Structure 1
Amino acid sequence: MQRTNFGEMACSIARTLDVIGEPWSPLILRDIWVGLTRFDQLQEDLGISRKVLTERLGYLVDRGVLTRRPYDRRPRYEYVLTPKGEELVDLLMVMVAWGDKWLAGEAGPPVLLRHHACGEISHVELHCSNCDKPMRANDVDRLPGLGAVA
């Protein structure tokens, strides 16, 4: 079965899913964000097959989300988030807030986030880049952009 190429669609959600829409990619990004940067660390933490991990890491490197950095003469590499990858982690933090609210259950969130600027435990919220007011799905109108298909 051939995979649909979401990257060619005139939709930013589809294009993003083309990069991280399969289940392993966000988990790989999460692990790299928390400091598990080497192949063996990732494989052990995720329990993912070596073949799938190799494919996913290569795909994320090819898409500019990760970069490979040698750490040994064999050569062996560790994986580092690029600026593009760091912004995808921002997206994952929004997913964390949703999961904590709707799926954490009585046990509560499995991880807490402490904000460097204020030192407080917090969660990510979406705000308008112009007025800084909360920005939710019902607070916006969708208008055609320059990249819209005619």
Structure 2
Amino acid sequence: MDVTLTAGGDWSDPACPVARAVDLVGDRWSLLIVRDAMDGATTFTEFRQGLGIARNILTDRLRRLVEHGILAKSPGTDARSHTYRLTPAGQDLFTAVVALRQWGQRHAFAAGEAHSVLVDGRGREVAELRALGRDGEPVSAETTRVRKVGE
């Protein structure tokens, strides 16, 4: 399912992809739900236990993530339960979650403070992400600019 929000949202810059993405997944709980889904959580109970989130907030965030095509909801093992899985759009958030994780490792912990790290299937720590230009050279806020398209 490919769900796209249309202009008319509450964005300071309606042509900005960052503003739209933040509206969809920018609050703390939504991103942590996506993170936990990437780690294998599929049920309301698994999300609630993993996050320690209030039931009403979890219900709201799961509903929004389903409405926006980030999670898909399916019937669970009994009539009242459901399972949630990442859609292709949700899976596409992996790189953004890794970038946030790595930023947090660099800037949100004191030197030597215990924290988790992301490892690949062989147990090796995932390489640090860096933005690259089309030529493979690193780019930064100082070396890029935003160009509007479709005007």
TM range (shorter): 0.7 to 0.9
Alignment partner, residue 145 of structure 2? 141
2:110 aligned residue (100, 105, 119) = 105
User: Mean alpha-carbon deviation: is it higher for 15-24 or for 53-62?
Assistant: 15-24
The structure where strand makes up a greater share of residues is 1
Aligned to 1:71: 76
Structure having greater relative contact order (Cα 8 Å, sep ≥ 6): 2
Which letter does structure 1 place at the counterpart of 2:63? G
More helix by share: 1
Contact kept in structure 1, 2:133 and 2:139, CA below 8 Å: no
Report the alpha carbon displacement of residue 109 of structure 1 after superposing the two structures with TM: 5.9
Matches of residues 32-71 of structure 1 in structure 2 within 5 Å? 32-71=37-76
Normalised to the residue count of structure 2, the TM-score between the two structures is 0.82
- Structure 1 residue runs of 5 or longer lacking an equivalent are none
Contiguous gaps of at least 5 residues in structure 2: 1-8
Cα offset for 1:42?
0.8
CA deviations 1:1-25 (Å, max 9, x no partner) are xxx7239822111101110122210
Query: How many residues get paired?
Result: 143
Partner of 1:88: 93
Q: CA RMSD in A?
A: 2.3
Instruction: Give the counterpart letter for 1:122 in structure 2.
Output: V
